[in-house]
């Protein structure tokens, strides 16, 4: 028979154990991980080679399905990834399952099941309200242990994601976000409401997190095992805040909207919307003259939010005013936004594209190449290349800008060896649509004595075809280049 005193002590012990266990279940820190990444970064100025490896660290959170949620830039161009749980010393090798560099999000996993022992995944919350308190968990520089910073939600609106240069919904917070914090969860009421992604160096305690609508879109997108991306409406728009402009298009006083000034060829709007249409409503939301919508009471952001919250293949309604008549239209969002751009935004986890002929190095113009001129590339990169960004949409005539990046000096190109950064418009008088098309034009002219590359400024590189073809192996050998074109152009 157990005495009363013994029963009391046993009950007290069980109470303490249960409280401790419950405390561990609610301890958010258990689900926070530090991420160690080795990156192998391509050299876009020497596109046949790499710039060497770099090592960085980031943060992440364990979510349902034995997965780790983090930033895309934490594992960009990764060759080796390890993770370490809070309070432990052992590192586990991790594997990247899915990455969306557009939304700066990635999912990792660890094949060793013991990594997930005795840890509860963190649940997801909702899009927070301004002035709500938020805690950011992560492993910023300055130490090796977990850091927790507290702040408030300051602002919710579209911001440009530094990693992808794409404007998406973002949440501004005043909690400190430093290198190493990237990928760490932002927590409100013990739930993930965002992922820390970037800060502003010139300001004190202004940081941004990827919010739940963007995270949920990414997770829904990859639920079938593949990533489709973010859809696009495929139009060029102009604000209508000028009252005379509104009157010119027959808008009533109580109406508001935004003007369609261009339709991107092959987009979902091609053949349905027309130039000079005024979009009054999108997906049931009134569109303001400044191109914003009220996504939540008294909170506004870009109308692109309504498109970006949809998945590829879904439909969206568009109410337009066309020549004084209302039209209710429906669009199927069948094309991702990256198909609209003439000059692609940043890409990762792929090797650069290039083609060499007669020692001339041809490449497509993209943001990765422009970034080779440093963080201030907009002012330091060649002006002709930067200027192409002023109208960064494909046309019926061209879906890629081809640049004669540099010339590998050799006898065949004597006199041209100092030329660089030419935007190529024509080959033998034929307009160039893209780099693959340039190669076809080069090969189609075989048998002719000369080949002529004409730049945007009407300058020309003229080469002897026979010399260009016979000397190519020697040029590649001298400059230690394995092949005359990247693998993606071999077909």
Report the catalytic residues.
73, 104, 182
CA distances from 22 to 73, 263, 346, 425 (A): 35, 57, 45, 68
474 DSSP assignment: H
| Residue 304, H or E segment | helix 304-308
Tokens of 407: 């010339």
CB-count exposure of residue 185 (10 Å: 0-12, 13-18, 19+)? buried
CA–CA dist 405, 33 (Å, integer): 42
CA–CA dist 177, 142 (Å, integer): 12
Give residue for tokens 């009252």: 243
Q: Is 298 left (phi over 0), alpha (psi -120 to 50) or beta?
A: left
Between CA 355 and CA 360, with CA 357 as vertex, the angle to 5 degrees is 85
CA–CA dist 249, 277 (Å, integer): 9
58 DSSP assignment: E
CA–CA dist 309, 137 (Å, integer): 26
Q: Give the sign of the dihedral formed by CA 416, CA 419, CA 421, CA 422.
A: negative
Long-range Cβ pairs for the range 90-94 (8 Å, 24+): 91/36, 94/35, 94/68
CA–CA dist 340, 134 (Å, integer): 36
**Contact between residue 82 and residue 111 where contact means Cβ atoms under 8 Å apart:** no
Give residue for tokens 């009421």: 189
Tokens of 325: 């008549």
236: closest CA among 109, 375, 393? 393
Q: Would you call 170 helix, strand, or coil by DSSP?
A: strand
Tell me the backbone φ, ψ of residue 178, rounded to 5 degrees.
-125, 165
454 contacts: CB under 8 Å, gap ≥ 6: 424, 425, 426, 427, 429, 460
**Contact between residue 428 and residue 461 where contact means Cβ atoms under 8 Å apart:** no
243: closest CA among 235, 234, 231, 251? 251
**Contact between residue 333 and residue 231 where contact means Cβ atoms under 8 Å apart:** yes
């Amino acid at each position: 028979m157990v005495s009363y005193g013994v029963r009391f002590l046993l009950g007290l012990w069980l109470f303490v154990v249960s409280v401790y266990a419950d405390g561990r279940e609610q301890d958010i820190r258990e689900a926070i991980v530090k991420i160690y990444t080795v990156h192998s970064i391509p050299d876009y100025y020497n596109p046949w080679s790499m710039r060497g490896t770099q090592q960085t660290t980031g943060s992440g959170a364990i979510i349902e399905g034995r997965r780790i949620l983090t930033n895309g830039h934490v594992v960009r161009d990764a060759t080796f990834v390890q993770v370490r749980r809070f309070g432990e010393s052992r590192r586990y090798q991790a594997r990247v399952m899915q990455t969306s560099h557009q939304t700066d999000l990635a999912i990792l996993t660890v094949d060793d099941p013991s990594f997930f022992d005795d840890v509860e995944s963190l649940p997801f919350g909702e899009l927070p309200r301004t002035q709500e308190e938020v805690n950011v968990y992560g492993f910023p520089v300055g130490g090796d242990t977990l850091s927790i910073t507290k702040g408030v939600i300051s602002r919710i609106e579209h911001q440009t994601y530094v990693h992808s240069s794409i404007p998406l919904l973002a949440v501004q917070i005043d909690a400190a976000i430093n290198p190493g914090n990237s990928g760490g969860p932002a927590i409100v009421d013990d739930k993930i409401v965002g992922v820390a992604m970037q800060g502003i160096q010139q300001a004190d305690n202004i940081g941004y997190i990827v919010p739940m609508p963007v995270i949920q879109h990414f997770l829904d997108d990859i639920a079938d095992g593949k990533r489709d991306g973010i859809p696009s409406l495929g139009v060029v728009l102009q604000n209508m805040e000028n009252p005379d402009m509104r009157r010119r298009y027959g808008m009533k006083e109580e109406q508001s909207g935004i003007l369609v000034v261009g339709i991107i060829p092959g987009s979902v709007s091609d053949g349905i919307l027309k130039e000079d249409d005024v979009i009054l409503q999108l997906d049931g939301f009134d569109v303001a003259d400044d191109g914003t919508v009220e996504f939540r009471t008294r909170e506004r952001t870009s109308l692109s939010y309504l498109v970006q919250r949809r998945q590829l293949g879904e439909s969206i309604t568009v109410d337009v005013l066309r020549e004084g008549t209302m039209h209710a239209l429906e669009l199927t969002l069948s094309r991702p936004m990256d198909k609209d751009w003439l000059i692609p935004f940043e890409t990762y986890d792929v090797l650069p594209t290039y083609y060499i002929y007669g020692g001339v190095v041809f490449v497509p113009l993209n943001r990765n190449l422009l970034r080779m001129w440093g963080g201030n590339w907009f002012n330091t990169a060649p002006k002709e290349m930067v200027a192409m960004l002023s109208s960064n949409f494909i046309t019926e005539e061209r879906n890629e800008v081809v640049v004669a990046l540099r010339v590998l000096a050799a006898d065949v190109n004597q006199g041209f060896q100092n030329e660089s950064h030419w935007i190529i418009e024509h080959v033998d008088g034929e307009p160039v649509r893209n780099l693959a098309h340039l190669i076809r034009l080069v090969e189609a002219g075989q048998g002719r004595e000369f080949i002529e590359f004409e730049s945007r400024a009407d300058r020309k590189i003229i080469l002897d075809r026979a010399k260009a073809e016979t000397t190519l192996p020697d040029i590649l050998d001298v400059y230690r280049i394995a092949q005359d074109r990247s693998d993606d152009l071999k077909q």
